[in-house]
Structure 1
Amino acid sequence: MSKKSVIISLAASGILLANPISIEKIIVNDIQDSDALYLAESNSSEAKNRQIFTTKSISTLSTHANMNPYTVIAFSPSVNFTPVDSTGSNEPSYHDPIHIRGKSQSGPGGVYMINSMPTSSNPGGGKLMLDMENVSSIDLYKGYLSVDKNLGFSSLIGKVDMNILQPSNKMQTTISQSFGSDGFARSFIRFDSGKIDDISLFGSLSTLSNEKTKGDGEQKRYNGMAGFSYEPNQSFKADFYAIKNSDEHHNYYNLNYAQASDLGNFFNKDFATTKPTTNGDVNYYDWNKQDFDTTTFLADILFRPTNSDTITIKPYYKQDEGGYWFSKTNSDSSKNRVINWEIDHDLFGAVSSYEHKFSQELKSKIGYWYHKQLPPGPPSEQTKYKSQNGSLVYDGYAILSKNDYHVIQAPFVEVSGEVDKINYSVGAQYQTFKL
């Protein structure tokens, strides 16, 4: 963004030299309202490689589906997000269709975090389980990651951390309704109780339905969320959240290289809309879909025994059940199969830390992260089917294996501070992984 501004300024200067003119002095007296900022002002006392997208960014840059943080951070340099349709809600596969600093995320790793907790269990459901109305800001980390953010199976391309909008101190109701082409409809409602003694809470519900922009198929999503906050004094605060997300949608056909090179003829190509009559033909839209039900519980507990000490504990749990249906083709059509990748797994863990501030020049943090989850990855149960006379016929297992939990443990330490005009942060994390 800044490079583009410099180029424009240089070009304007060249025109002025060739055709000298005089203009009046421009004086700006207005003060920028912090609520209008798209990016939050960085804290100079923190050496964090973080870009903060504010509520203004979320409401302006998000699509009408309002459930995908990648549509917001896509406006950051070196980030490339290519959704398969205008809503940004229908993923092409179990991979995140996002690139950061030229890299894409694959395997069980995910960039999705909630309140700095690694809840992503990609592949699987629940990758877009937060409505953006329930998010106060989005933190984008790319490149250097501090030790308390370097969590999850992989930090290859960075992290996208969503901060939940906490219950309001005032009673209020938020309602939004959207309609669009291809049968798009989305409803959202959130109720905040306001602060009652030391307690405040909120609850929200949303529904989304949409037809595919090409070919047959549709998407249906239901989401419910509840938040509970307890703050008896300035030294202690506990937030608890529960999320229930159901997502069912048909996938889009993936063009091969030759087809993508000839969009004039293949732009609208998608799966067949009628059941195949030829044995071995698996090109049918209703055999390429996914369906997941996800339940998540999160807690964020903070305790300040003194003005210089802070203790945080963040436990989390996620249960995910569903599966992918997809066609698998071969050069020999008799070997074409439809695969049902069944997924039923859970994950749980906690991030805890203790921070002590000796001075502005020296702050220390020590913490511990524990994470445990069932596969995938790798896949553990995939059933295959033949296409015969327009129906699917069971053809055994493509994969059937028994896997125990993946377990990750990571103690970490960090030293940071501000010396004159220099901000520094030095950390170390020791990680063990067992499967």
Structure 2
Amino acid sequence: MKKTALLVFLLAFPALASASEISEAYPSAEEVTVTGKKGDILQQVTGRESELLNPSQMSVYKAINLMPSLSQQSVDPYGLADIVNYHESFRFRGVEATSGGVPATTVNVEGLPVTGRPGGGATIYDLENFSNINIYTGVMPASAGLGLADVGGKINMEIRRPEESFGVLFKQGFGSNDFRRTFLRVDTGALPGDVKSFISFSDAAADKWKGEGDSQRRNVMAGVTKTFGDNVKLEAFVTYSKGDIHAYRPFSYAQIGNLESAYTIDYGTNPDSYDYYGYNRNEFEDWMVMANLEVKTGEHSKLDIKPYYWSDKGYYLETITLANNQNRIRRWDIDHDLKGVLAEYTTTIGSVDLDFGYLYHTQVRPGPPTSWKNYKVVNGKPVFDQWNILSNSSSHELHSPFLEATYRFGSWKLEGGLKYINYTLPSIITYNTAGLGDLSYDEALAGNPSINAKASALDTKSFSRLFPNLTLTRFIGDNISLHAAYGENYVTHVDIYPYFISQSANFIQKGISFQQLWDAREMETSQNFELGMRVKGSNWSIAPTIYYALHNNKQAVLYDPVLDATYPMNNADAEGYGFELEAEYKPLENLSCYGSFSWNRFSFSQDINSDAPGGGIIKVKGEQVPDAPEFLAKGMVSYKAGDFLITPIVRYTSVRYGDVLHNEKIDSTTLFDLDLTWQKKMLGFKEVEISLSLLNIFDKQYVSMISTSDYKTLKTSYQAGMPFTVMATLAVHY
């Protein structure tokens, strides 16, 4: 297997395109810069490459998946329905930062945690409205990982500000399975009163590539900036998104073993069956509002105050399997929001650049869930059966002051930071629901139901800890840099609650209350060490990195035979280590190549003891964690011929496992894409662009997303990967 991965890398090495080089060879009127940040090492994949990797421009995860050690899987070629257990399938260095137990995503906007899960908050942005996507893995500055979690890494998107002059960007896309997407952005340019603004609209839809059902998504985003003299600037941005998504049917390990069947079987068309596609969909409506007041307080200092608010309303409707193997339709109503403010002051004292900041963030549940209702199917319609969960509406709360400093001396640079995390988990009051009918959530609570004490955690739980980071960089001439870095990250999983509710009889029979399990929750922390370098020649560069990470209180969803229950435990240590290599090469003026290779080992360094008193021991020591490929190799070549740009892309993913005991093996996969683009300035337009994207051009059948913590069955579930897909886009810049 190792030889195969290395061979694929060697073949792919002349295969990826550097952003800066390609933008020179083939300039674009609108650019999105994707940046990997590891100390002072920057890798760029700009403008055209963002669209190559994510032609639909609706998924930030697709746009960055050629970076080393980033594993991203898809069932939907357009990014509309790429959800597994209410989160995205995405890993940094084998670490799943977006698992079902984290009520957040890895994506921040302007440094603010204004995306959330579960719900519709992860893909509410159109990438045309963003100028930079910064990726941090392992060690990161204190200001880069703000929010409820940063254990694996963080993605930060920077909004494309209103342009100085009037402009219009129009894009129309069509593709397989009746895909269509219209995008329009209008910039007003400079208006009287030092005001600039923009507004954009997008409308996208696509049928599923198998089975019945479709996905629809509409987005509106607007921004306005105003300056007051030379020292004060006010910015405000608002985003609205509404999505209506039909899900793809997940499979068990036995079912996914027959890939040919998995590529044709999906939810059915009979409303008398629990397998009906109409019973498996979600619909969400989202609002995001943020502002930035920037005040220059000196020649080298400024104060930024950024308030923000995000609202998410909607529901999941899905077929579930109960512990007694009976099926039901579950409706999970979600109505939650988050809000906060970030205050940041930057200044320079002598030779030291300083950044002081403070984040206050509060986020209403779910997760964990507050409302689950189960329905039976009777005469082709869902008929209310019973409440599965009814609990209070409580909030996560985070206080996070931080400090960063940068000092340059000679050919050295020293960067350090310190972040304090004070994170309080919400209390959870579970109510008895016997006799409650098909009421709304508010109506059910208004009936003053009695409290189920054994299924409640009346006391909140808080975590307080300092998280340092330090990076030392040595520059040798203009073309070589070396760095050594250390940093600590965190995450707290909260998905023990639905597992307890679904198997409460097993726990209560053993005398175990939910409060005991809630009290046993620990913050998972990681200590990250990294050594790296970057060497640059006249037409090439190479950036190798080695890293090592220790994880304390790593979580895994496991079956405890003593309790006869499957639930998440987080009392064991794990370690990760690996090697990353990125290289870019431009042998000819019109030919650019880029390649990445990574070897990631992430496993438990001890067996796991059950969190529950009297539970068993699960032997997992030394086993690679689920859904974490050990080897990744990716590549892209861009060749310019006149007004045409021809770009083949290859991605290799090694063997993965669906369980920590390695009983469920998923084979390695190599996928190929091809993009053909024609660009020209003509007819008075800044640019006219026509592109044709061919995804999975050899129609490879493979397993894509894996969910090891599936609330529907409490077992691992799998999805087939997207098939051959064609997408064409016309873009006009005026």
Shorter chain as normaliser: what TM range?
0.7 to 0.9
Match of 1:133, as an amino acid?
Answer: E
What does residue 53 of structure 2 align with? Answer: 61
What does residue 88 of structure 2 align with? Answer: 96
What does residue 179 of structure 1 align with? Answer: 174
The two structures have a TM-score, normalised by structure 2, of 0.52
- 1:138 deviation in Å? 0.8
**SS at 2:63's partner residue?**
helix
**SS at 1:59's partner residue?**
helix
**Per-residue CA shift, 1:341-375, capped at 9, x if unaligned?**
1000111011111111124x411221100001100
- Alignment CA distance shift 1:4-1:130 (3 Å): farther
2:258 matched to 1:262? Answer: yes
* Equivalent-residue separation in structure 2 for 1:232 and 1:52 (angstroms): 34
Q: Is the 8 A contact 2:162 2:224 kept in 1?
A: yes
Is the strand fraction higher in 1 or 2?
2
Alignment map for 1:234-253 (pairs within 5 Å): 234-253=230-249
* Equivalent-residue separation in structure 2 for 1:9 and 1:91 (angstroms): 26
* Equivalent-residue separation in structure 1 for 2:67 and 2:143 (angstroms): 23
* Equivalent-residue separation in structure 1 for 2:26 and 2:154 (angstroms): 25
- 1:48 deviation in Å? 5.7
- Alignment CA distance shift 1:42-1:244 (3 Å): closer
Matching residue within 343, 349, 373 for 1:383: 373
Matching residue within 318, 331, 347 for 1:326: 318
**SS at 2:343's partner residue?**
strand
Counting aligned pairs with the same residue, the percent is: 29
* Equivalent-residue separation in structure 2 for 1:188 and 1:9 (angstroms): 33
What does residue 395 of structure 1 align with? Answer: 385
2:81 matched to 1:87? Answer: no
Matching residue within 283, 291, 296 for 1:304: 296
**SS at 1:103's partner residue?**
coil
2:153 matched to 1:162? Answer: no
Question: May I ask how many residue pairs the two structures share in their alignment?
Answer: 406
- 1:224 deviation in Å? 0.7
* Equivalent-residue separation in structure 2 for 1:4 and 1:303 (angstroms): 54
Answer 1 or 2: higher relative contact order, Cα 8 Å, separation at least 6. 2
What does residue 23 of structure 1 align with? Answer: none
Match of 2:90, as an amino acid?
Answer: I
What does residue 19 of structure 1 align with? Answer: none
**Per-residue CA shift, 1:239-282, capped at 9, x if unaligned?**
11011100011000112111222212332221112223xxxx42
What does residue 295 of structure 1 align with? Answer: 287
- 1:40 deviation in Å? 7.1
Q: Is the 8 A contact 1:142 1:159 kept in 2?
A: yes
Matching residue within 118, 127, 150 for 1:123: 118
* Equivalent-residue separation in structure 2 for 1:103 and 1:153 (angstroms): 16
2:338 matched to 1:347? Answer: yes
Match of 1:386, as an amino acid?
Answer: K
The two structures have a TM-score, normalised by structure 1, of 0.87
What does residue 411 of structure 1 align with? Answer: 401
Which deviates more, 50-59 or 74-83? 50-59
What does residue 114 of structure 1 align with? Answer: 109
* Equivalent-residue separation in structure 2 for 1:73 and 1:95 (angstroms): 17
- Alignment CA distance shift 1:190-1:38 (3 Å): closer
Which deviates more, 310-319 or 245-254? 310-319
2:305 matched to 1:313? Answer: yes
- Alignment CA distance shift 1:189-1:427 (3 Å): same
Q: Which consecutive residues of structure 1, in runs of 5 or more, have no partner in the other structure?
A: 12-29
* Equivalent-residue separation in structure 2 for 1:218 and 1:42 (angstroms): 34
2:216 matched to 1:225? Answer: no
- 1:121 deviation in Å? 1.7
- 1:110 deviation in Å? 1.1
* Equivalent-residue separation in structure 1 for 2:13 and 2:327 (angstroms): 59
Match of 2:253, as an amino acid?
Answer: Y
Q: Is the 8 A contact 1:54 1:136 kept in 2?
A: no
**SS at 1:402's partner residue?**
coil
2:73 matched to 1:78? Answer: no
* Equivalent-residue separation in structure 2 for 1:6 and 1:322 (angstroms): 44
- Alignment CA distance shift 1:303-1:35 (3 Å): farther
Q: Is the 8 A contact 1:51 1:139 kept in 2?
A: no
- 1:61 deviation in Å? 2.4
Matching residue within 349, 358, 363 for 1:368: 358
* Equivalent-residue separation in structure 2 for 1:232 and 1:149 (angstroms): 29
- Alignment CA distance shift 1:283-1:412 (3 Å): same
- 1:54 deviation in Å? 3.2
What does residue 655 of structure 2 align with? Answer: none
* Equivalent-residue separation in structure 2 for 1:136 and 1:222 (angstroms): 21
* Equivalent-residue separation in structure 2 for 1:41 and 1:295 (angstroms): 27
Q: Is the 8 A contact 2:35 2:43 kept in 1?
A: no
* Equivalent-residue separation in structure 2 for 1:87 and 1:429 (angstroms): 37
* Equivalent-residue separation in structure 2 for 1:347 and 1:390 (angstroms): 38
* Equivalent-residue separation in structure 1 for 2:41 and 2:353 (angstroms): 17
* Equivalent-residue separation in structure 1 for 2:11 and 2:88 (angstroms): 35
* Equivalent-residue separation in structure 2 for 1:7 and 1:181 (angstroms): 32
Q: Is the 8 A contact 1:52 1:139 kept in 2?
A: no
* Equivalent-residue separation in structure 2 for 1:288 and 1:353 (angstroms): 44
Match of 1:270, as an amino acid?
Answer: D
* Equivalent-residue separation in structure 2 for 1:319 and 1:88 (angstroms): 21
* Equivalent-residue separation in structure 2 for 1:232 and 1:261 (angstroms): 63
- 1:51 deviation in Å? 5.2
Q: Is the 8 A contact 1:187 1:206 kept in 2?
A: yes
- Alignment CA distance shift 1:189-1:371 (3 Å): same
